Chain A
């Protein structure tokens, strides 16, 4: 696989305020990747640095092996052959849909241009909308036009900056799938920036989680969820709770709920205080279990139901159970812990 984009030890910032701090990231040809993080984490700045809108203080960005951004080099955006989809879509209000999509096709003949536009309109399912103006379209349609416009010049890399954040939830997930399929159909390479993990999971074959200018983890969605590299990632990705305990052996922790043994070992000495990550699917409701809890809330999700449970010692945890089981709020139940991915975080940082 060819390395398309290399970001090495990237630093960006405004005035005396660092925004991106030593970020390193590699993307191969044909990959769809996501950058995920809370707002203000620096993910959009990374995207803008790749596009060439953001100056680089240290480090470098390479496209196809060629340095495009460094403290001394800044290839202008228009020479990078990148596509970008903006959060507000940035459709040109004075141009029709066709003219918008054809905007980047400057060196094509008129017929070639029209062919590309027609093909893209078909791809996004909007044939017949070519003569409309952007303001006459719905948000979802505008969004799709923005993607089509970015794809038209066949960019080597497509950058998407929170493209679904202005849409309602329903539309958002459906469009995310649509766009992913469109990108796959074009065999495009794309980086997708979002603060919404569901979008990131749909779009990204790999996801980078960012916080405060750092890249915390660079992983597949599955591993990110089940094997978060640190407490922030664990907390930010998916739901869950932490169970406090002490190491007794390298793969066993003593907790108030008893000794819990996992499928992997940690090199920390006995007695080290740790937190065990409990995903909702790690907690089972088993009526006869001696560990008792009360149902304080429930959220029906179709196939599953997510319960919020409160233990006698005041601790809260989540449990995901198939919806054929039905427990009412206020009922007393028993729980069992059954952990597939044994993730521990020390309470105190370990030197």
Chain B
């Protein structure tokens, strides 16, 4: 189509890709500042290497590490394949095909996002383990030992639960990508004699690759950093070693060292992925019209409907109903006036974090858009690393960084002859928001970047030749065009923030308890039934923005 020549207008940024920048500009400084914000707590984590504890290391290497690596790799491969297959297939079905109930499934399939993974894990084990109702019923019909049932507390069980809660990341991003693919490209493929499956495989899929990769890497980062779910399954992964080193051996240093290895692995993976798509352009240059759907008639349509209903039941309805049953048991003892405080704090923190994080992600997205050099690629990847660390490790890293800045401030005022003490940043709402931004930057970055990548460079340029100033280009061109991506980013961050535990627990100001804090209080002592009310409130609060988002994107079409 377009050869890449120096005056090719598709290749718009002046400094071309893959080089070091000649001169630093405002985008370098902006992305650099955000990278630094994330890098400081990461450096705190890496500083664990200053005091290596060889004894713990040799013990872990002797007894556990081998198995942990194998388990982690199994988990990553299983969850990676699972979320990609499931998320992409569902997105393709709901955006490009038509079958009974498609309009409902379109948004219902996003709902599992609102279910915290640890809740799903507990419900799955509660229902399907030996002592659960399913197997108990089987035993009473068939007798002990006369039936076969898969072991839920197994590698397959963990993978299944993780896939069910994490596939919405891929689904949502792939869905937006498919929705914005132009008609002409897809129809061109159809006229060349390709059927629905081949159009999907040979055209739509490659074009949606950045979005799919963004979704899958979010899911995998969360898998690598997860502790709650694997702990509920007692399935040992690399994070198990991290927590064992910290909580068991009281060695935050060793935990940090292990965590930094995890981080290094994620960083290298991210850079590699970027490198492989450096050359290709994913702008859909000739965007035209909404493609027609492939209509699945008769039994084919209904079998899709049945399959999706089953999936929705497993991924959302059953855990939701189980939560409702528990909530009804405990509502009299759990519900009080403080509940509104929890709700208020949850929403306020979630919304502030969603706004702030999305704004930062937008800055990073613009930096990458206008500066396609190695320095920017590097800083942007750094800025996205917060999601790959186990939550508690990152929370402690941020907390240490913030308290150190407090110490520094006191020393500074001391030198100036004033005497200050106490907390300034540490323990403030601001500190907590910084922590959320650091943790969830990657979550917002994915949708924002894929959204930006679909805006052709000529659009803002056209606006400029029509006299629009940079600020107007932001408000009149970029924001309206990127709105679906931005909304997806805010929604994901909002829901993730509301579910977030480790940083909220460690850094919340006194009295700023949230629903997640309440869930933690109950679940950490195994009182799942009493956690149901806050958990269900969390799910319901998470549903509102999901529905809002879906309605918005439907209007945009």
Q: Identify the stretch in B3-11, B197-205, B435-443 within 8 Å (CB) of chain A at 4 or more residues.
A: B3-11
Residue from A76, A88, A150, A153 having most chain B Cβ neighbours under 10 A: A88
Measured in the bound complex, the distance between the Cα atoms of B16 and A92 in whole Å is 26
| Contact flags A53-88 to B (C-beta < 8 A → 1, else 0) | 111000000000000000000001111111110111
Q: How far is the CA of A66 from the CA of B19 in the complex (A)?
A: 35
* Contact partner, B7, options A44, A51, A80, A86, Cβ 8 Å: A44
Q: Taking A86-B462, A90-B461, A136-B289 as contacts, is the C-beta distance between A78 and B469 under 8 angstroms?
A: yes
Whether B6 and A76, one on each chain, are in contact in the complex, defined by CB atoms closer than 8 angstroms, is no
Does A288 make an interface contact (CB < 8 A)? no
A102's nearest neighbour on chain B, judged by CB, is: B466
Is B465 a contact partner of A92 (Cβ separation < 8 A)?
no
Q: Does A166 contact B (CB under 8 A)?
A: yes
Report the Cα distance A159→B462, complex, angstroms: 11
Does B462 contact A54, Cβ atoms closer than 8 Å?
no
Nearest A residue to B465 via CB reads: A84
A152 to B6, CA, bound (A): 30
Contact with B along A144-158 (1 / 0, CB 8 A): 000001101101000
Q: Which residues of B contact A135 (CB under 8 A)?
A: 287-290
The CA-CA distance from A134 to B458 in the complex, in Å, is 15
Chain B positions 446 through 483: 1 when the CB is less than 8 Å from some CB of chain A, otherwise 0: 00000000001011011111111100000011001100
Query: Could you tell me the distance in whole angstroms from the C-beta of A44 to the nearest C-beta in chain B?
Result: 4
- Specify which chain B residues have a CB less than 8 angstroms from the CB of A82 in the assembled complex: 465
- Whether the Cβ atoms of B456 and A88 lie closer than 8 Å is yes
The yes or no answer to A301 lying at the interface (CB within 8 A) is no
Residues of A within 8 A of B458 (CB): 86-90
The answer to whether A11 has its CB under 8 Å from any CB of chain B is: no
**Any B CB within 8 A of the CB of A45:** yes
Asked if A104 and B466 make an inter-chain contact with CB atoms under 8 angstroms apart, the answer reads: yes
Tell me if A42 is interfacial: C-beta within 8 Å of chain B: yes
Q: Does B306 contact A (CB under 8 A)?
A: no
B336 within 8 A of A: no
Q: Is B14's CB within 8 Å of the partner chain A?
A: yes
Shortest beta-carbon distance from B185 to chain A in Å: 13
Most buried by B among A19, A39, A86: A86
The CA of A87 and the CA of B8, in the complex, are separated in Å by: 10
Q: Is the CB of B465 within 8 A of A150?
A: yes
- Report how far A83 CA is from B467 CA in the complex, Å: 9
- CB pair B16–A43 under 8 Å, yes or no, is no
* Given known A55-B14, A135-B288, A135-B289, contact A84–B9 (CB-CB < 8 A): no
Task: Tell me, yes or no, whether A6 is within 8 Å of chain B by CB.
Answer: no
Given contacts A78-B468, A103-B468, contact A94 B480 (CB under 8 A): yes
Cα–Cα, bound, A41→B286 (Å): 25
Q: Hey, which chain B residues are within 8 Å of A39, CB to CB?
A: 3, 5, 7
Do residues A40 and B480 form an inter-chain contact, with CB atoms below 8 A?
no
Q: Is B285 an interface residue (CB 8 A)?
A: yes
Give the interface size bracket for A toward B. 35 or more
Interface assignment of A14: CB less than 8 Å from any CB of chain B = yes
Contact B468 A86 (CB under 8 A): no
> A92 to B14, Cβ gap below 8 A?
no
Chain B residues within 8 Å of A79, by CB: 467
A313 beta carbon closer than 8 Å to chain B: no
In the bound complex, what is the Cα–Cα distance between A89 and B289 (angstroms)? Answer: 16
Tell me the bound Cα distance from A155 to B464 in angstroms.
Answer: 13
B283 and chain A: residue at smallest CB distance? A88
Contacts of A246 in B (CB 8 A): none
Instruction: Report chain A residues within 8 Å CB of B9.
Output: 44, 48, 86-88, 161
Q: Are A15 and B465 in contact (CB under 8 A)?
A: no
Which of B14, B463, B464 touches A14 (beta carbons < 8 Å)? B14
Q: How many residues of B contact A (CB 8 A)?
A: 33
- The smallest C-beta distance from A4 to any residue of chain B, in angstroms, reads 16
A312 at the interface (CB under 8 A from B): no
- Scan residues 105-151 of chain B and give those whose CB is less than 8 A from a CB of chain A: none
Question: How far is B288's CA from A152's CA once the two chains are assembled, in angstroms?
Answer: 24
Residues of A within 8 A of B14 (CB): 14, 54-55
Interface string of A76-119 (1 = CB under 8 A from B): 11111111101111111110000000011010000000000000
B462 & A153 in contact (Cβ 8 Å cutoff): no
Residue among B3, B5, B480 facing the most chain A CB atoms (10 A cut-off): B5
Known: A19-B6, A87-B9. A92 touches B469 (CB 8 A): no
Contact A104 B5 (CB under 8 A): no
Partner of B461, one of A13, A44, A84, A106: A84
Of chain A, the residue at the smallest CB distance from B459 is: A90
Contacts of B481 in A (CB 8 A): 92-94
Q: Find the B residue at minimum CB distance from A39.
A: B5
Task: Looking at the assembled complex, report how far the CB atom of A131 sits from the nearest CB atom of chain B, in whole angstroms.
Answer: 17
* List of B residues within 8 angstroms of A14 by Cβ: 6, 14-16
Q: How far is the CA of A149 from the CA of B465 in the complex (A)?
A: 10
A45 to B15, CA, bound (A): 14
A106:B467 contact, CB within 8 angstroms? yes
Contact A77–B6 (Cβ < 8 Å): no
Complex: A166 Cα to B1 Cα, angstroms: 11
Task: Tell me the bound Cα distance from A318 to B534 in angstroms.
Answer: 86
Given A55-B14, A88-B456, CB of A45 within 8 Å of CB of B6: yes
- On chain B, the residues within 8 Å of A159 by CB distance are 465
Which residues of chain A are near B5, meaning CB under 8 Å?
A: 39-40
Q: Does B465 contact A78, Cβ atoms closer than 8 Å?
A: yes
Instruction: Let me know if A331 is at the binding interface, CB within 8 A.
Output: no
Q: A43-B7, A103-B468 are in contact. Are A86 and B461 (CB under 8 A)?
A: yes
Q: With a CB–CB cut-off of 8 A, which chain B residues contact A263?
A: none
Interface string of B36-73 (1 = CB under 8 A from A): 00000000000000000000000000000000000000
B380 to chain A, nearest CB (A): 21
Other-chain contact of A83, B3, B465, B477 (Cβ < 8 Å) = B465
- A99: shortest Cβ distance to chain B, in Å? 10
Whether A81 lies near B467 (C-beta < 8 A) is yes
B7 and A42 contact, CB distance less than 8 A: yes
When distances are taken between beta carbons in the complex, the residues of chain B under 8 Å from A86 are: 9, 458, 461-462
The interface residues of chain A lying within 8 Å CB-to-CB of B477 are 92
Minimum CB–CB distance from B451 to chain A (whole Å) comes to 13
Q: How far is the CB of B176 from chain A (nearest CB, A)?
A: 15
Contacts of A53 in B (CB 8 A): 461, 464
Tell me which residues from 330 to 353 in chain B have a Cβ below 8 Å from any Cβ of chain A: none
**Which A residues between 127 and 178 are near B, CB-CB below 8 angstroms?**
135-136, 149-150, 152-153, 155, 159, 161, 166
Nearest residue, chain B, Cβ from A40: B5
- A-chain residues with CB within 8 Å of residue B7 when the two chains form the complex: 19, 39-45, 48
* In contact, A40 and B6 (Cβ under 8 angstroms): yes
Q: Which B residues touch A94, using CB under 8 A? A: 480-481
Q: Which residues of B contact A155 (CB under 8 A)?
A: 465
Contacts of A136 in B (CB 8 A): 289
In the assembled complex, the Cα of A45 lies from the Cα of B244 at a distance in Å of 60
- A19, A90, A106 pick with most chain B CB within 10 angstroms: A90
Contact A51 B289 (CB under 8 A): no
Residues of B close to A88: CB separation below 8 A:
9, 285-286, 456, 458
| Chain B residue at smallest Cβ distance from A166 | B286
Nearest Cβ distance between residue B180 and chain A, in whole angstroms?
Answer: 10
Contacts known (A78-B467, A166-B286); A84 close to B6, Cβ less than 8 A: no
Counting chain B CB atoms within 10 Å of each CB, which of A43, A78, A80 scores highest? A78
Roughly how many angstroms separate A76 CA and B14 CA in the complex, as a whole number? 15
Chain A positions within 8 Å of B461 at CB level: 51, 53, 77, 84, 86, 90
Q: How far is the CA of A161 from the CA of B9 in the complex (A)?
A: 9
Contact with A along B502-535 (1 / 0, CB 8 A): 0000000000000000000000000000000000
Q: A52-B464, A90-B459, A166-B286 are in contact. List 7 more A-B contacts (CB 8 A).
A: A39-B7, A54-B14, A82-B465, A84-B462, A87-B458, A91-B462, A93-B287
Interchain residue pairs A-B with the least CB separation, the first 6:
A104-B466, A90-B458, A90-B462, A44-B7, A84-B465, A40-B5
| Interface CB pairs A-B, < 8 A, 17 | A15-B15, A15-B16, A15-B19, A40-B7, A44-B9, A51-B461, A76-B464, A79-B467, A84-B465, A88-B9, A90-B458, A90-B459, A90-B461, A92-B481, A94-B481, A135-B288, A135-B290
